[in-house]
Amino acid sequence: MTGIDKFEIRKEKFTHFKHDIYNSASLISNWTSTIYEDESGLVWVGTSDKGLSKYNKTHEKILHYRKNPTDANSLSSNKILTIYEDKSGILWIGTEGGRTE
């Protein structure tokens, strides 16, 4: 099985997250490459093939971000290698094979 697991220490319980083609609120892909929790508590899951998922633990919602060739403000590639948040709160997404403008 693929995807990611969340372990709740106090409850000693695992919750499995995976891509489900019938559920748009699931992970964007099972092939995860990086996971990062930002200062506000949002969990970002980068994938090796389909882009980025953002998980809001409070509302238990998942949103997706993908490369859109017609939108210069979208991800430059769907292959996410790393995620970093700088001191000013800007989130940096490292990709492979993106735009070369």
Residue ranges of the domains in the chain? 4-95
Look up the pTM and report it.
0.85
Please write the tens of the pLDDT for every residue from 60-88.
899 999 999 999 899 999 999 999 999 99
53 vs 83: CA distance, rounded Å: 12
Q: What average pLDDT score do residues 10-14 get? A: 94
96 vs 77: CA distance, rounded Å: 6
Cα 60 to the center of its chain, rounded Å: 14
